[in-house]
Amino acid sequence: MTMMSTRSTLLFLASLLIFDNDKQQATAFTPLTISNGRVGWVASTTRRSATIYSPDGVAHAWDEDDFFYDETGTLNASPPNSPHNVYQESGFGPDLEELDPHKSLKSLISKEAMPELARLAVAFAPPDQALELDEIEHVEVLSVDKDHIQIEVVLCERDGCVTLAIPVSFPSPCGIEDKFSECVIDNIDLLNTVAHEDLAKLDSLKNRHEDVAHDTRTMQILKSTSDLELPSWWEAPGLDRVLADECDNVRNLLNELEFQDDVKCLTEQALANVGGCNEWAVDKAACAMVGPAGLMLRATIVEIDADGNEPRREQVAFPVGFGRSAPTIEALRAAVLGMVAAASSAEASAVAVQANADDEAARLRR
Protein backbone atom coordinates (compact mmCIF):
# COMPACT_ATOMS: atom_id res chain seq x y z
CA MET A 1 0.00 0.00 0.00
CA THR A 2 1.41 3.38 -1.01
CA MET A 3 1.60 6.21 1.48
CA MET A 4 -1.04 8.12 -0.51
CA SER A 5 -3.56 5.28 -0.33
CA THR A 6 -2.64 4.69 3.32
CA ARG A 7 -3.18 8.37 4.05
CA SER A 8 -6.59 8.37 2.31
CA THR A 9 -7.69 5.30 4.20
CA LEU A 10 -6.50 6.73 7.52
CA LEU A 11 -8.26 10.03 6.90
CA PHE A 12 -11.45 8.21 6.05
CA LEU A 13 -11.29 5.90 9.04
CA ALA A 14 -10.21 8.52 11.52
CA SER A 15 -13.02 10.89 10.55
CA LEU A 16 -15.81 8.35 11.08
CA LEU A 17 -16.41 9.29 14.70
CA ILE A 18 -19.80 7.90 15.70
CA PHE A 19 -21.83 9.60 18.43
CA ASP A 20 -24.95 8.45 20.21
CA ASN A 21 -27.61 10.99 19.30
CA ASP A 22 -28.82 11.19 22.91
CA LYS A 23 -25.51 11.21 24.83
CA GLN A 24 -23.35 12.98 22.20
CA GLN A 25 -20.45 10.77 23.32
CA ALA A 26 -18.21 8.45 21.37
CA THR A 27 -19.20 4.81 21.80
CA ALA A 28 -17.67 1.47 20.89
CA PHE A 29 -16.49 0.85 17.34
CA THR A 30 -17.25 -2.28 15.30
CA PRO A 31 -16.11 -2.80 11.68
CA LEU A 32 -18.48 -1.74 8.91
CA THR A 33 -18.08 -1.50 5.12
CA ILE A 34 -19.25 1.91 3.93
CA SER A 35 -20.89 2.30 0.51
CA ASN A 36 -17.65 3.38 -1.20
CA GLY A 37 -16.06 0.05 -0.32
CA ARG A 38 -13.63 1.16 2.39
CA VAL A 39 -13.71 -0.07 5.96
CA GLY A 40 -15.23 2.36 8.44
CA TRP A 41 -16.62 2.25 11.97
CA VAL A 42 -20.15 2.25 13.43
CA ALA A 43 -21.28 2.48 17.05
CA SER A 44 -23.80 0.33 18.88
CA THR A 45 -26.65 2.56 19.99
CA THR A 46 -30.05 1.84 21.51
CA ARG A 47 -31.82 4.22 19.10
CA ARG A 48 -30.47 2.46 15.98
CA SER A 49 -29.24 5.83 14.74
CA ALA A 50 -25.96 7.72 14.70
CA THR A 51 -24.17 10.76 13.37
CA ILE A 52 -21.27 9.90 11.04
CA TYR A 53 -18.63 12.47 10.18
CA SER A 54 -17.25 12.01 6.66
CA PRO A 55 -13.62 12.89 5.65
CA ASP A 56 -14.65 16.41 4.63
CA GLY A 57 -16.09 17.04 8.10
CA VAL A 58 -19.74 16.94 7.02
CA ALA A 59 -22.09 15.29 9.53
CA HIS A 60 -24.60 12.72 8.21
CA ALA A 61 -27.54 11.49 10.30
CA TRP A 62 -27.98 7.76 9.70
CA ASP A 63 -30.63 5.45 11.13
CA GLU A 64 -31.34 1.75 11.02
CA ASP A 65 -32.81 1.94 7.50
CA ASP A 66 -29.42 2.99 6.16
CA PHE A 67 -27.69 -0.25 7.20
CA PHE A 68 -28.12 -3.42 5.14
CA TYR A 69 -26.48 -6.66 4.03
CA ASP A 70 -25.63 -6.90 0.34
CA GLU A 71 -25.73 -10.03 -1.83
CA THR A 72 -22.27 -11.08 -0.58
CA GLY A 73 -23.40 -11.00 3.05
CA THR A 74 -21.37 -7.88 3.85
CA LEU A 75 -22.91 -5.33 6.20
CA ASN A 76 -23.07 -2.01 4.35
CA ALA A 77 -24.16 1.54 5.01
CA SER A 78 -25.68 3.68 2.29
CA PRO A 79 -26.23 7.45 2.34
CA PRO A 80 -29.63 8.60 3.65
CA ASN A 81 -32.60 8.09 1.31
CA SER A 82 -30.65 5.83 -1.08
CA PRO A 83 -31.88 2.36 -2.19
CA HIS A 84 -30.64 -0.54 -0.06
CA ASN A 85 -31.29 -4.15 0.89
CA VAL A 86 -33.06 -5.35 4.01
CA TYR A 87 -31.46 -4.18 7.28
CA GLN A 88 -30.38 -6.94 9.66
CA GLU A 89 -30.21 -6.00 13.33
CA SER A 90 -27.55 -8.63 14.15
CA GLY A 91 -24.90 -6.53 12.42
CA PHE A 92 -24.55 -4.07 15.29
CA GLY A 93 -23.23 -6.39 17.99
CA PRO A 94 -23.21 -5.77 21.77
CA ASP A 95 -22.56 -2.42 23.46
CA LEU A 96 -18.93 -1.81 24.47
CA GLU A 97 -17.27 0.70 26.75
CA GLU A 98 -16.59 4.18 25.44
CA LEU A 99 -13.38 4.78 23.48
CA ASP A 100 -11.10 7.83 23.39
CA PRO A 101 -10.91 9.13 19.78
CA HIS A 102 -7.13 9.60 20.17
CA LYS A 103 -6.84 5.96 21.18
CA SER A 104 -8.84 4.94 18.12
CA LEU A 105 -6.59 7.04 15.87
CA LYS A 106 -3.55 5.41 17.44
CA SER A 107 -4.95 1.95 16.64
CA LEU A 108 -5.81 2.96 13.08
CA ILE A 109 -2.31 4.26 12.35
CA SER A 110 -0.72 1.17 13.93
CA LYS A 111 -2.80 -1.09 11.69
CA GLU A 112 -2.82 0.82 8.41
CA ALA A 113 0.62 2.48 8.32
CA MET A 114 3.11 -0.07 9.67
CA PRO A 115 5.67 0.41 6.84
CA GLU A 116 5.59 4.17 7.35
CA LEU A 117 5.95 3.81 11.12
CA ALA A 118 8.96 1.53 10.69
CA ARG A 119 10.55 3.99 8.28
CA LEU A 120 9.98 6.87 10.70
CA ALA A 121 11.44 4.89 13.59
CA VAL A 122 14.63 4.15 11.63
CA ALA A 123 15.02 7.65 10.20
CA PHE A 124 14.37 9.56 13.43
CA ALA A 125 15.83 7.20 16.05
CA PRO A 126 18.39 8.82 18.39
CA PRO A 127 22.06 8.09 17.51
CA ASP A 128 22.40 5.73 20.46
CA GLN A 129 19.39 3.73 19.22
CA ALA A 130 20.34 3.37 15.55
CA LEU A 131 18.05 0.91 13.76
CA GLU A 132 17.88 -1.01 10.48
CA LEU A 133 14.58 -1.75 8.76
CA ASP A 134 15.32 -5.46 8.50
CA GLU A 135 15.88 -5.63 12.28
CA ILE A 136 12.32 -4.59 13.15
CA GLU A 137 9.94 -7.40 14.12
CA HIS A 138 6.94 -5.27 15.06
CA VAL A 139 5.99 -1.61 15.24
CA GLU A 140 3.00 0.28 16.60
CA VAL A 141 1.97 3.65 18.02
CA LEU A 142 2.40 4.06 21.76
CA SER A 143 0.85 7.51 21.92
CA VAL A 144 -0.04 10.46 19.74
CA ASP A 145 -0.70 14.06 20.73
CA LYS A 146 -0.68 17.47 19.11
CA ASP A 147 3.13 17.70 19.02
CA HIS A 148 4.50 14.23 18.38
CA ILE A 149 3.97 10.54 17.89
CA GLN A 150 5.70 7.90 20.01
CA ILE A 151 6.51 4.68 18.15
CA GLU A 152 7.15 1.36 19.84
CA VAL A 153 9.65 -0.86 18.01
CA VAL A 154 10.29 -4.52 18.80
CA LEU A 155 13.71 -5.96 17.89
CA CYS A 156 14.39 -9.67 18.27
CA GLU A 157 17.57 -11.72 18.27
CA ARG A 158 18.36 -15.28 19.26
CA ASP A 159 18.68 -14.29 22.92
CA GLY A 160 15.27 -12.60 23.02
CA CYS A 161 13.46 -9.40 22.12
CA VAL A 162 13.82 -5.80 23.25
CA THR A 163 11.38 -2.91 22.94
CA LEU A 164 12.36 0.66 22.13
CA ALA A 165 10.25 3.81 22.27
CA ILE A 166 11.10 6.28 19.50
CA PRO A 167 9.59 9.80 19.82
CA VAL A 168 9.06 11.67 16.53
CA SER A 169 8.10 15.34 16.62
CA PHE A 170 5.58 16.74 14.15
CA PRO A 171 6.72 19.50 11.77
CA SER A 172 3.41 21.29 12.43
CA PRO A 173 1.59 20.98 15.79
CA CYS A 174 -2.03 19.86 15.65
CA GLY A 175 -5.01 21.48 17.36
CA ILE A 176 -6.85 19.45 19.96
CA GLU A 177 -10.31 19.96 18.50
CA ASP A 178 -10.95 20.46 14.79
CA LYS A 179 -9.39 18.15 12.18
CA PHE A 180 -6.94 16.65 14.67
CA SER A 181 -6.85 13.29 12.89
CA GLU A 182 -6.28 14.86 9.48
CA CYS A 183 -3.47 17.01 10.88
CA VAL A 184 -1.75 14.00 12.46
CA ILE A 185 -1.93 12.02 9.24
CA ASP A 186 -0.65 14.99 7.21
CA ASN A 187 2.34 15.17 9.56
CA ILE A 188 3.00 11.45 9.19
CA ASP A 189 2.78 11.81 5.41
CA LEU A 190 5.34 14.63 5.42
CA LEU A 191 7.65 12.83 7.86
CA ASN A 192 7.46 9.68 5.73
CA THR A 193 8.60 11.63 2.66
CA VAL A 194 11.55 13.08 4.58
CA ALA A 195 12.40 9.68 6.07
CA HIS A 196 12.27 8.00 2.66
CA GLU A 197 14.72 10.55 1.21
CA ASP A 198 17.06 10.39 4.21
CA LEU A 199 17.14 6.59 4.22
CA ALA A 200 17.82 6.52 0.47
CA LYS A 201 20.82 8.81 1.02
CA LEU A 202 22.04 6.66 3.90
CA ASP A 203 21.70 3.51 1.80
CA SER A 204 23.69 5.11 -1.02
CA LEU A 205 26.40 6.23 1.40
CA LYS A 206 26.45 2.81 3.03
CA ASN A 207 26.82 1.12 -0.36
CA ARG A 208 29.72 3.41 -1.25
CA HIS A 209 31.43 2.63 2.04
CA GLU A 210 30.91 -1.08 1.45
CA ASP A 211 32.35 -0.78 -2.06
CA VAL A 212 35.40 1.07 -0.76
CA ALA A 213 35.88 -1.49 2.01
CA HIS A 214 35.56 -4.35 -0.49
CA ASP A 215 38.09 -2.76 -2.85
CA THR A 216 40.49 -2.20 0.04
CA ARG A 217 40.26 -5.84 1.12
CA THR A 218 40.73 -6.98 -2.48
CA MET A 219 43.85 -4.86 -2.96
CA GLN A 220 45.31 -6.13 0.30
CA ILE A 221 44.90 -9.69 -0.94
CA LEU A 222 46.36 -8.89 -4.36
CA LYS A 223 49.42 -7.19 -2.82
CA SER A 224 50.03 -10.18 -0.56
CA THR A 225 53.02 -12.42 -1.30
CA SER A 226 51.42 -15.52 0.21
CA ASP A 227 50.91 -18.58 -2.01
CA LEU A 228 52.89 -17.08 -4.89
CA GLU A 229 54.61 -19.55 -7.21
CA LEU A 230 57.75 -17.83 -8.46
CA PRO A 231 59.04 -18.61 -11.97
CA SER A 232 62.42 -20.26 -12.49
CA TRP A 233 63.99 -17.02 -13.71
CA TRP A 234 63.04 -15.11 -10.56
CA GLU A 235 65.93 -13.46 -8.67
CA ALA A 236 65.96 -12.17 -5.12
CA PRO A 237 68.00 -9.06 -4.20
CA GLY A 238 70.11 -11.27 -2.00
CA LEU A 239 72.34 -9.54 0.50
CA ASP A 240 72.22 -6.21 -1.32
CA ARG A 241 70.18 -4.28 1.22
CA VAL A 242 70.05 -1.11 -0.88
CA LEU A 243 68.68 -2.99 -3.90
CA ALA A 244 66.21 -4.88 -1.68
CA ASP A 245 64.88 -1.60 -0.27
CA GLU A 246 64.54 -0.18 -3.78
CA CYS A 247 62.54 -3.25 -4.86
CA ASP A 248 60.14 -2.58 -1.98
CA ASN A 249 59.96 1.14 -2.86
CA VAL A 250 59.15 0.40 -6.50
CA ARG A 251 56.49 -2.12 -5.46
CA ASN A 252 54.83 0.43 -3.18
CA LEU A 253 55.02 3.08 -5.92
CA LEU A 254 53.35 0.82 -8.49
CA ASN A 255 50.51 0.19 -6.04
CA GLU A 256 49.81 3.90 -5.63
CA LEU A 257 46.56 5.16 -7.15
CA GLU A 258 48.30 7.07 -9.97
CA PHE A 259 49.97 3.88 -11.27
CA GLN A 260 47.00 1.50 -10.97
CA ASP A 261 46.03 1.93 -14.61
CA ASP A 262 49.60 1.15 -15.67
CA VAL A 263 49.69 -2.00 -13.55
CA LYS A 264 46.33 -3.01 -15.02
CA CYS A 265 47.73 -2.54 -18.54
CA LEU A 266 50.71 -4.74 -17.68
CA THR A 267 48.35 -7.38 -16.29
CA GLU A 268 46.11 -7.26 -19.37
CA GLN A 269 49.15 -7.82 -21.59
CA ALA A 270 50.19 -10.76 -19.43
CA LEU A 271 46.66 -12.18 -19.67
CA ALA A 272 46.72 -11.77 -23.47
CA ASN A 273 50.07 -13.57 -23.64
CA VAL A 274 48.50 -16.68 -22.11
CA GLY A 275 45.51 -16.50 -24.46
CA GLY A 276 42.90 -15.48 -21.91
CA CYS A 277 41.96 -11.98 -23.07
CA ASN A 278 38.98 -13.17 -25.12
CA GLU A 279 37.36 -14.97 -22.21
CA TRP A 280 38.44 -12.94 -19.20
CA ALA A 281 38.79 -9.27 -18.29
CA VAL A 282 41.01 -7.75 -15.61
CA ASP A 283 38.99 -6.13 -12.83
CA LYS A 284 41.60 -5.23 -10.21
CA ALA A 285 45.38 -5.61 -10.37
CA ALA A 286 48.34 -5.01 -8.06
CA CYS A 287 52.05 -5.61 -7.89
CA ALA A 288 52.85 -8.28 -5.31
CA MET A 289 56.64 -8.41 -5.70
CA VAL A 290 59.48 -6.62 -7.47
CA GLY A 291 62.83 -8.29 -8.09
CA PRO A 292 65.94 -7.54 -10.14
CA ALA A 293 64.64 -9.74 -12.97
CA GLY A 294 60.97 -8.75 -13.12
CA LEU A 295 57.59 -8.29 -11.43
CA MET A 296 54.96 -10.54 -9.89
CA LEU A 297 51.48 -9.20 -10.62
CA ARG A 298 48.23 -10.43 -9.11
CA ALA A 299 44.77 -9.71 -10.43
CA THR A 300 41.09 -10.41 -10.06
CA ILE A 301 39.76 -11.45 -13.46
CA VAL A 302 36.10 -11.68 -14.47
CA GLU A 303 34.55 -14.00 -17.03
CA ILE A 304 33.40 -11.99 -20.07
CA ASP A 305 30.68 -14.21 -21.54
CA ALA A 306 28.69 -15.86 -18.77
CA ASP A 307 25.63 -16.67 -20.95
CA GLY A 308 23.39 -14.61 -18.69
CA ASN A 309 24.70 -16.24 -15.52
CA GLU A 310 26.63 -14.59 -12.71
CA PRO A 311 30.18 -14.21 -14.12
CA ARG A 312 32.93 -16.16 -12.45
CA ARG A 313 35.68 -14.26 -10.67
CA GLU A 314 39.15 -15.65 -10.04
CA GLN A 315 42.40 -14.40 -8.57
CA VAL A 316 45.50 -15.20 -10.63
CA ALA A 317 49.21 -14.31 -10.61
CA PHE A 318 51.30 -13.26 -13.63
CA PRO A 319 55.12 -13.17 -13.66
CA VAL A 320 56.46 -10.44 -15.98
CA GLY A 321 60.19 -10.47 -16.75
CA PHE A 322 62.42 -7.55 -17.71
CA GLY A 323 64.31 -9.69 -20.20
CA ARG A 324 67.56 -9.24 -18.32
CA SER A 325 68.56 -8.72 -14.71
CA ALA A 326 68.83 -5.22 -13.22
CA PRO A 327 71.68 -5.38 -10.70
CA THR A 328 71.58 -1.71 -9.62
CA ILE A 329 69.00 0.80 -8.46
CA GLU A 330 69.31 2.80 -11.67
CA ALA A 331 68.93 -0.29 -13.85
CA LEU A 332 65.89 -1.45 -11.86
CA ARG A 333 64.14 1.91 -12.21
CA ALA A 334 64.88 2.05 -15.94
CA ALA A 335 63.56 -1.49 -16.46
CA VAL A 336 60.30 -0.80 -14.61
CA LEU A 337 59.70 2.57 -16.28
CA GLY A 338 60.44 1.10 -19.69
CA MET A 339 57.98 -1.75 -19.09
CA VAL A 340 55.26 0.65 -17.94
CA ALA A 341 55.83 2.97 -20.92
CA ALA A 342 55.67 0.07 -23.36
CA ALA A 343 52.42 -1.19 -21.83
CA SER A 344 50.83 2.26 -21.97
CA SER A 345 51.92 2.72 -25.59
CA ALA A 346 50.52 -0.67 -26.55
CA GLU A 347 47.25 0.15 -24.80
CA ALA A 348 46.99 3.48 -26.62
CA SER A 349 47.66 1.77 -29.95
CA ALA A 350 45.02 -0.86 -29.24
CA VAL A 351 42.48 1.84 -28.39
CA ALA A 352 43.29 3.73 -31.59
CA VAL A 353 42.96 0.57 -33.69
CA GLN A 354 39.60 -0.23 -32.10
CA ALA A 355 38.38 3.34 -32.66
CA ASN A 356 39.35 3.16 -36.34
CA ALA A 357 37.56 -0.17 -36.67
CA ASP A 358 34.42 1.26 -35.07
CA ASP A 359 34.51 4.28 -37.40
CA GLU A 360 34.89 2.04 -40.44
CA ALA A 361 32.01 -0.16 -39.34
CA ALA A 362 29.83 2.91 -38.84
CA ARG A 363 30.77 4.21 -42.31
CA LEU A 364 29.85 0.90 -43.94
CA ARG A 365 26.48 0.87 -42.18
CA ARG A 366 25.69 4.27 -43.68
pLDDT in tens, 70-90: 444 444 444 443 333 222 222
Mean per-residue pLDDT over the chain, rounded:
72
pLDDT score of 139 more than 60: yes
pLDDT score of 54 more than 60: no
Q: pLDDT band at residue 218, thresholds of 50, 70 and 90?
A: confident
Q: pLDDT band at residue 216, thresholds of 50, 70 and 90?
A: confident
CATH number for the domain running over 241-365: 3.20.180.10
Q: pLDDT band at residue 321, thresholds of 50, 70 and 90?
A: very high
CATH of 102-204, one of 3.30.1280.10, 3.10.300.10, 2.30.110.10, 3.20.180.10: 3.20.180.10
- Identify the residue with better confidence: 238 or 300: 300
pLDDT over 90 percentage in the chain = 19
Name the residue type at position 299.
A
Tell me the pTM: 0.47
Cα dist from 157 to 134, 171, 207, whole Å: 12, 34, 24
Q: Where are the strands (E) in the chain, listed by range?
A: 18-19, 29-34, 39-43, 49-53, 59-63, 67-69, 75-77, 136-144, 148-157, 160-169, 280-291, 294-303, 313-321
Do 21 and 47 contact (CB within 8 A), yes or no?
yes
Q: pLDDT band at residue 277, thresholds of 50, 70 and 90?
A: low
Query: What pLDDT score does 252 carry?
Result: 94
- Average pLDDT, integer, range 260-283: 86
**Boundaries of CATH 3.20.180.10 in the chain?**
102-204, 241-365
pLDDT in tens, 157-171: 888 888 889 999 999
